[in-house]
């Protein structure tokens, strides 16, 4: 069965870009005679709010969408992500990193081969500290992140490393699927959990896609590079491989992607001001499938 999901984070009110994504995901599920799940990705308790989450439900209903109940709320399932992380720890594939962003930028300035422009920020390749040094920093309460070691992943997978691919589906022909090689090293040793939060978008997302039997991951072009890291995590955790599909983004007149950070018009304000679903679809125009 075709199953996909719309998985917003309640860190702000949804805007037109989210409407484009939600309507696109729902359309793909409908034409495939499948279903769209709603998943609330609210693991970042420092930014997520209950009123934003409530508004997500109201906005999506206003857009004419529905989904199976119950809705999975990631904040209710931290033990699941802890167990997934523990598997990687036990396999020696992750290490504790105590470097701040300022520390990372200083290291990158001294190492021209490194980059500050990875998909998630600075591209850093490191290794575990000596056990005594780790213990000292932990006793001092220094925060740390768990990083996925690319070198250890390569060693663990051996010749299979170069065989990892992803399957991408076309929007122009929904039956056209191409196989694409992945390059997860573009992330460096990616952060997949933090001491305070215990997981990351990447780890929780691939875990839940597998748990919820998601067959097709449909999302915006801004997350296309995430596939490289997600496919690696799926292989390392022995999770099933979905088919990926990425839609075009809604941009402003300068070509910049609409975002919560830039205070793009909220769907909540639009519906409260009498904007109709037809108005929304007209604004999205040819971007809708």
pLDDT for position 120: 87
Has residue 273 got a pLDDT over 60? Answer: yes
H or E, element range at 165: strand 165-169
Say which DSSP state 235 is in. Answer: H
Has residue 257 got a pLDDT over 90? Answer: no
pLDDT for position 5: 98
Whether the CB-CB separation of 119 and 112 falls below 8 Å is answered with no
More confident residue, 195 or 21: 21
Which tens digit of pLDDT belongs to each residue from 55-95?
Answer: 999 999 999 999 999 999 999 999 999 999 999 999 999 99
Which tens digit of pLDDT belongs to each residue from 99-117?
Answer: 998 998 888 888 877 777 8
Has residue 149 got a pLDDT over 60? Answer: yes
pLDDT for position 111: 81
Q: Which of 137, 135, 151, 47 is nearest to 94 (CA)?
A: 151
pLDDT for position 110: 85
């Amino acid at each position: 069965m075709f199953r996909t999901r719309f998985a917003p984070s309640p860190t702000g009110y949804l805007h037109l870009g989210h409407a484009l994504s939600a309507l696109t995901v729902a359309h793909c599920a409908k034409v495939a005679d499948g279903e769209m799940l709603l998943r609330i990705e609210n693991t970042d308790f420092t930014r997520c709010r209950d009123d934003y989450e409530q508004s997500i439900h109201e906005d999506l209903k206003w857009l004419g969408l529905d989904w199976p109940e119950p809705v999975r709320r990631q904040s209710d399932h931290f033990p699941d992500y802890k167990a997934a992380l523990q598997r990687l720890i036990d396999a020696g594939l992750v290490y504790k990193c105590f470097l701040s962003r300022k520390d990372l930028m200083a290291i990158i300035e001294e190492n021209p081969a490194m980059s500050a422009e990875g998909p998630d920020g600075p591209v850093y390749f490191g290794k575990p500290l000596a056990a005594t040094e780790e213990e000292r920093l932990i006793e001092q309460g220094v925060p740390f992140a768990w990083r996925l070691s690319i070198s250890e992943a390569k060693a663990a997978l051996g010749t299979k490393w170069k065989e990892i691919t992803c399957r991408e589906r076309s929007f122009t022909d929904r039956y056209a699927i191409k196989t694409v090689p992945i390059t997860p090293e573009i992330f460096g040793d990616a952060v997949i959990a933090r001491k305070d939060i215990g997981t990351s978008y990447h780890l929780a997302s691939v875990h839940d896609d597998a748990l919820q039997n998601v067959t097709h991951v449909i999302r915006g072009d801004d997350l296309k590079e995430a596939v490289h890291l997600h496919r690696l995590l799926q292989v390392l955790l022995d999770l099933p491989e979905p088919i990926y599909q990425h839609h075009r983004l809604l941009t402003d007149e300068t070509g910049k992607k609409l975002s919560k950070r830039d205070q793009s018009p909220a769907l909540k304000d639009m519906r409260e001001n009498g904007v109709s679903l037809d108005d929304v679809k007209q604004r999205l125009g040819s971007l809708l499938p």
